C-alpha cells in the first residue's frame, strides 16, 4: 500500500519538472510597437531593456487557417481552375525590352551616382576640405568633415548596390 502513494509522488514530481523545463520566460520589450516575446535570451533581453512577465497568463491567438490546395479540394476542378502555362509566360521580346529598359535606367543612375561621388571626393580633398567662414570653431569643421566622409561611404555603398543590380540583369 505504501508503494502507491510513493509512485504518485514520483509521477507528480516528474510532471512538475517537465512543466518547468518547457515553461519559457516571456519578455515585454519597450518600443513604438511594444513587443511580447519568449524568443530572446536573457542577455538579449537585458540589451533591449526588456522586463520579464512572471505569473501573467499568456494568450495565444490562432492565425487564419491555410486553405487546402485546389487539387485536394476537388480533383476534377484543379485542371479548370489553373490558367494554362502559356498565359503565365511572358513574351521573350517583351522581357528583353524590360531588361533593356532596366539596364538603361540603372546605368543612368550609376553614372549620376559616380559623378556625385567624384564631386564629394573633390570637395573632401583627402580629409582636408577648405574651411568655410562660418567654421571658426574647429569642432564645427571636424563635424562637417565627418559628415562628408559618411556621405562618401554612403555613395560608395549605393554605387556597389547599383553594380550588383546590373550584374543580375542578363547581358543585352
Position 106 scores a pLDDT of 94
The answer to whether the predicted template modeling score (pTM) of the entire model surpasses 0.95 is: no
Question: Collapsing DSSP states into helix, strand and coil, what is residue 83?
Answer: coil
How far apart are the C-alpha atoms of 129 and 52, rounded to whole Å? 51
Any domain includes 98:
yes
Any domain includes 155:
yes
**Final residue in a domain of this structure, among 37, 56, 75:** 56
Task: Encode pLDDT of 45-59 as tens digits.
Answer: 888 888 888 766 666
Any domain includes 14:
no
In the sheet that holds 35-37, the strands lie side by side as: 35-37, 26-29, 51-53
Q: Same domain for 109 and 51?
A: no
Task: Encode pLDDT of 61-76 as tens digits.
Answer: 777 877 766 555 555 5
Query: At 51, phi and psi to the nearest 5?
Result: -110, 150
How far apart are the C-alpha atoms of 109 and 62, rounded to whole Å? 46
Task: Encode pLDDT of 112-166 as tens digits.
Answer: 999 999 999 999 998 888 888 888 888 999 999 999 999 999 999 999 999 999 9
Task: Give the structural domain span for 163.
Answer: 90-168
Q: Supply the mean pLDDT for the chain.
A: 79
Question: What's the domain count of the chain?
Answer: 2
Name every residue whose Cβ is closer than 8 Å to that of residue 20 and which is 6 or more positions away in sequence. none
Question: Collapsing DSSP states into helix, strand and coil, what is residue 78?
Answer: helix
Strand partners, 28: 36, 51
Any domain includes 63:
no
How far apart are the C-alpha atoms of 165 and 102, rounded to whole Å? 10
Amino acid at each position: 500500500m505504501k508503494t502507491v502513494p510513493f509512485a504518485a509522488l514520483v509521477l507528480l514530481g516528474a510532471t512538475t519538472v517537465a512543466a518547468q523545463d518547457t515553461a519559457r520566460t516571456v519578455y515585454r520589450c519597450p518600443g513604438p510597437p511594444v513587443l511580447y516575446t519568449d524568443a530572446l535570451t536573457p542577455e538579449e533581453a537585458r540589451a533591449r531593456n526588456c522586463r520579464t512577465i512572471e505569473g501573467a497568463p499568456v494568450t495565444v491567438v490562432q492565425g487564419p487557417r491555410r486553405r487546402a490546395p485546389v487539387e485536394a479540394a476537388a480533383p476534377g476542378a484543379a485542371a479548370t481552375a489553373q490558367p494554362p502555362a502559356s498565359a503565365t509566360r511572358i513574351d521573350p521580346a517583351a522581357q528583353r525590352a524590360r531588361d533593356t529598359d532596366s539596364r538603361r535606367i540603372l546605368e543612368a543612375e550609376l553614372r549620376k551616382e559616380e559623378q556625385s561621388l567624384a564631386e564629394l571626393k573633390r570637395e573632401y580633398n583627402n580629409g582636408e576640405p577648405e574651411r568655410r567662414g562660418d567654421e571658426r570653431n574647429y569642432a564645427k569643421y571636424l563635424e562637417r568633415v565627418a559628415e562628408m566622409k559618411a556621405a562618401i561611404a554612403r555613395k560608395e555603398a549605393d554605387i556597389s548596390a547599383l553594380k550588383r543590380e546590373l550584374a543580375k540583369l542578363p547581358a543585352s
